[in-house]
A and B are shown apart, each in its own frame.
Chain A
Amino acid sequence: MKKLLFLIPALAVTTAAQANYPINGFIESKCVIQSDTAGMFGNPTVDELSTKSADGGVMPIIRYDIITASKYKAVITTPTNFSASPSLSDSVDWTSTTVAGQMSDAAMSIFNTDKVIYNNGHTTEFDLVKAGSVWFNVTSEAKYGVGKAFPSGSYTALIVAECIAK
């Protein structure tokens, strides 16, 4: 009887089933980026492309919807080259600005005050310390060579907008 009693737990151990049960999760971003206005280059002079309205361009506007404050930073990098263009034989000089041009809360005005610019002025970082929506206006200008005319054709440049968790 003792043996038998000993054997039953032994058998139970050797026949125990085992399975893995996954735990799934999904985190929805609390910072959403939307393209509000598509940009367009104007061509005020033969050697210049510009998104300024004074130059015949359309300023691209990017909207950030910040659901949770102080948890993200917006990083916007303006173009330093064309992603598509005719063959260029000379260098292009890029200049740009990025500012919060419209906001859903007056307190978001501090985004412009506290913004950090680096990468030779091509990357701007905003600390999203307030929740709400903010519209960033981006200007971009490209000057070709020294007095050279841009070859005719289509030109495309990309703005990289990121929302990075702090």
Chain B
Amino acid sequence: MQNVLPQQAGLTVGSVIYRYTAVKNIEDDMLVHVQNEDALGNGYIFRETDDWSGLEGNNIYKIVPVGAIPLERWGNGSVEVEGTGTVLDPSIIYTYQYDPCFDPQTDPSCPGYVIPYDPNLIPVVEFNDPLQDELVLAEMEKKAKLEEEEEYERKMRIKKVKVDLEKMLGGLNRGAMDGQAAAQEAALFAMNYIPVSYTGSLNGGVYKDMPMIPDSQIPNNKNAKRLNYAQQQKHEEMMQYQYDK
């Protein structure tokens, strides 16, 4: 019956409808069995017998309610003739229905549905705002303080570098420096921090302009234009930062 009934869990057959034509002589005995074997046991799960003995053959159309027999029990079906006669054009129809809640676990809306886990085993976790936790707040405050200190140190370093640079540049004017400053200058020069061009002298003379544009035509530089716009846009973007804070 696997090729007759849909293999669906929860399917039950409610009735069997069959028809055939019995061809026989009136005086002959003839029994026609319309039957299905019991797939889970011996014998038949359905067996209907028509006794045509002593009767004229005819067409039969019969509806046999069988209750609600589960799909699993329907075995092979057959039409068996016992006696003398022939069965022509047999047709057997099984009416069935499907219970979508046969397995209640298939749908939570089915009666008898059981939650597949024990909700009591799941610990109830209260929600705590981490931003209100004392330890977190203390850590955040500590971090903010560190950042503040680092920012202060960074500013101080920049300031010191600035001062050192001024001092180095100030060394160019030797006449204005006192002895201590001169010593510091000498120390700095010894460290090669000051480029040679600061102290070296250029050879005298006149450097004439070289004609770089023979045709006196300066074409528009599109790349420069694009770069100009990009710089302008970046500038405006940076300017906007102060308002975004």
**Chain A residues at the B interface, C-beta cutoff of 8 Å:** 100-110, 112-113, 133, 135
The residues in B between 49 and 94 inclusive whose CB is less than 8 angstroms from any CB of A are 50-52, 55-63
Please give me the residue from chain B that is nearest to A101 by CB atom: B59
B22 at interface by CB-CB < 8 Å: yes
Please give me the residue from chain A that is nearest to B53 by CB atom: A106
Residues of A within 8 A of B63 (CB): 104
Complex CA gap A105/B60 in Å reads 7
Complex CA gap A101/B60 in Å reads 8
A113 near B62 (CB under 8 angstroms)?
no
Please give me the residue from chain B that is nearest to A100 by CB atom: B58
Residues of A within 8 A of B22 (CB): 106
Of the candidates A104, A107, A133, A135, which one forms a contact with B55 in the assembled complex, judged by CB atoms under 8 Å apart?
Answer: A107
**25 residue pairs A–B, Cβ–Cβ below 8 Å:** A100-B58, A101-B58, A101-B59, A102-B58, A102-B59, A102-B61, A103-B59, A103-B61, A104-B60, A104-B61, A106-B22, A106-B32, A106-B51, A106-B58, A106-B60, A107-B51, A109-B52, A109-B55, A109-B58, A110-B55, A112-B58, A113-B55, A133-B61, A135-B59, A135-B61
Residues of B within 8 A of A103 (CB): 58-61
Closest-CB distance, B64 to chain A (whole angstroms): 10
Complex CA gap A110/B59 in Å reads 13
Complex CA gap A105/B56 in Å reads 12
Residues of A within 8 A of B62 (CB): 104-105
**Chain B residues at the A interface, C-beta cutoff of 8 Å:** 19, 22, 26, 32, 50-52, 55-63
Closest-CB distance, B6 to chain A (whole angstroms): 27
Closest-CB distance, B25 to chain A (whole angstroms): 13
Closest-CB distance, A56 to chain B (whole angstroms): 23
Please give me the residue from chain B that is nearest to A137 by CB atom: B59
For the A-B complex with A106-B52, A108-B58 known, give 13 more contacts whose Cβ atoms are closer than 8 Å: A101-B58, A102-B19, A103-B60, A104-B62, A104-B63, A106-B22, A106-B55, A106-B58, A107-B55, A109-B56, A109-B58, A113-B56, A135-B61
Please give me the residue from chain A that is nearest to B30 by CB atom: A106
B59 near A106 (CB under 8 angstroms)?
no
Residues of B within 8 A of A135 (CB): 59, 61
Complex CA gap A110/B60 in Å reads 13
Complex CA gap A104/B50 in Å reads 10
Complex CA gap A113/B56 in Å reads 8
A102 near B56 (CB under 8 angstroms)?
no
The 10 closest A-B pairs by CB, nearest first: A106-B50, A109-B55, A102-B59, A109-B58, A106-B52, A109-B56, A104-B62, A102-B61, A106-B51, A112-B56
Complex CA gap A165/B56 in Å reads 26
Please give me the residue from chain B that is nearest to A104 by CB atom: B62
Please give me the residue from chain A that is nearest to B61 by CB atom: A102
Please give me the residue from chain A that is nearest to B63 by CB atom: A104
Closest-CB distance, B26 to chain A (whole angstroms): 8
Complex CA gap A102/B21 in Å reads 9
Complex CA gap A68/B85 in Å reads 30
Closest-CB distance, A136 to chain B (whole angstroms): 12
Please give me the residue from chain A that is nearest to B64 by CB atom: A104
Please give me the residue from chain A that is nearest to B52 by CB atom: A106
